[in-house]
A = this chain, B = another copy of it.
Amino acid sequence: MTDSTKEQAADWSLSRRSAHAPGSPLVTVIGDGQLARMMHTAGIELGVTIRVLAGTADSSTAQVTPDVVIGDYTQRADVEEVSRDADAVTFDHEHVPNEFLEELIDSGINVQPQPAALIHAQDKLVMRKRLREMGAPVPPFMAIESVEDIRGFFEATSGNVCLKARRGGYDGKGVWFPSTVEHATELVEELLEKGTPLMAEKKVQLVRELSAMVARTPSGEVMAWPVVESVQEDGICFEAVAPAPNTKVELLRQAEQLAKDVATELGVTGALAVELFETTDEAGQPEIIVNELAMRPHNTGHWTQDGCVTSQFEQHLRAVLDRPLGSTAPIAPCTVMANVLGADCDPGTPLHQRMDEVWRRFPEAKIHMYGKGWRPRRKMGHVNMTLKEGQSVEELRTNARLAARYVVTGQWEDQQD
């Protein structure tokens, strides 16, 4: 536990409650964001108890769960404490040091997914190598350990370089697109000096992004959700459309099979998101390339809460507990998720009034909020909407986007002042 949280935690040890239902399985979730929060929503209905390691008492998950350990996931003792007696230990992010997890496993704790799988969601170079080994489609890449490395790679790719921090990047952070070889070498020099391990890969001629999600149990059962189109802006997902519209069945099948293979080959357990680039091959045909892996519920799977028989949060809990997986059948021909991202400025009206206005216009809008205060571009919630009879997918997408924007801006973007 860090010094700064120690005093608070002293009070909080008193306030931790853990009156579990008789025989209720206990899942420890390391993390306190919206993913852990929504695991708790699913856990309540399943009769699965969630215990979280939260950084602060007012974090997204700690607000809504009784069994909270306040602590720091980079501190061995905190990770140990929250994991004690758990039927499974899982995560809402990939940043827990793997040596802690290895120690937990050695002491008999059931950690899911295991570090041997997790490493592929933590280190992009390890992931790229492993995927290439298994024959999955990846762009040309190399480790960047010197300015000579980047110079060579820049030349080899005719300047189509995507430079990445091997670890820790997300939502567009830790990714750079140097436009000149000078810019590239400067960047690499600076980053290596700071001790940032780097890799580079060939920039993909992107048509769009897809996401293929599956869940897998330790026993090896795998279930896939329909593949979605994921729309990004400045590296942050702001929309997911399920299933991916205007897509050949062949390509959807290929993406789904790829995600299943990755889960099995890497021994992933729980939810796995395989983020994909759709590009065009030499014959002009659509082709997919793996971008990133996430081993947990994922933003591109939020639509499953209102669009599928089994949500990713329920499935993740079932999977890490090695219980049978649920049907992933969609309940509508199309579901759209639009992220509620903090606007550039905080509108004057209260959040609940803005939600009300959205509900007045769209009584079918499912608004999910994370209990987070405003910050520009912060993921504060999401809106799910399913296709109604007579509605087009385009109309549905427009409505979901309008709704999500209104929640943060208090403005209808399709209406002039």
Interface residues of A (CB under 8 A from B): 14-17, 19-25, 37-38, 40-41, 43-47, 49, 57-58, 60, 62-66, 68, 305-306, 309-310, 318, 321, 323-327, 329, 331-332, 350-352, 355-356, 359-360, 363-373, 381, 386, 388
Contact = CB atoms under 8 A, between A and B. Distances in A.
A24 B309 contact: no
Contacts of A46: 367-369
Q: Which of A25, A40, A41, A49 has the most CB of B within 10 A?
A: A41
B329 A372 contact: no
A350 B19 contact: no
A388 to B, nearest CB: 8
Contact of A15 (B16, B43, B329, B371): B16
8 contacts: A14-B14, A20-B371, A23-B352, A46-B368, A46-B369, A47-B351, A326-B359, A331-B386
A369 B45 CA distance: 6
Contacts of A37: 44
A58 B41 CA distance: 18
A63 to B, nearest CB: 5
Nearest to A12: B17
A248 to B, nearest CB: 23
A62 B17 CA distance: 9
A355 B47 CA distance: 10
Nearest to A56: B19
Nearest to A306: B309
A333 to B, nearest CB: 12
A381 B16 CA distance: 26
Contacts of A355: 47, 323
A62 B66 CA distance: 8
Given A19-B62, A63-B21, A366 B309 contact: yes
A336 to B, nearest CB: 14
A17 B369 contact: no
Given A57-B19, A350-B23, A363 B64 contact: no
B381 A47 contact: yes
A3 to B, nearest CB: 21
A65 to B, nearest CB: 6
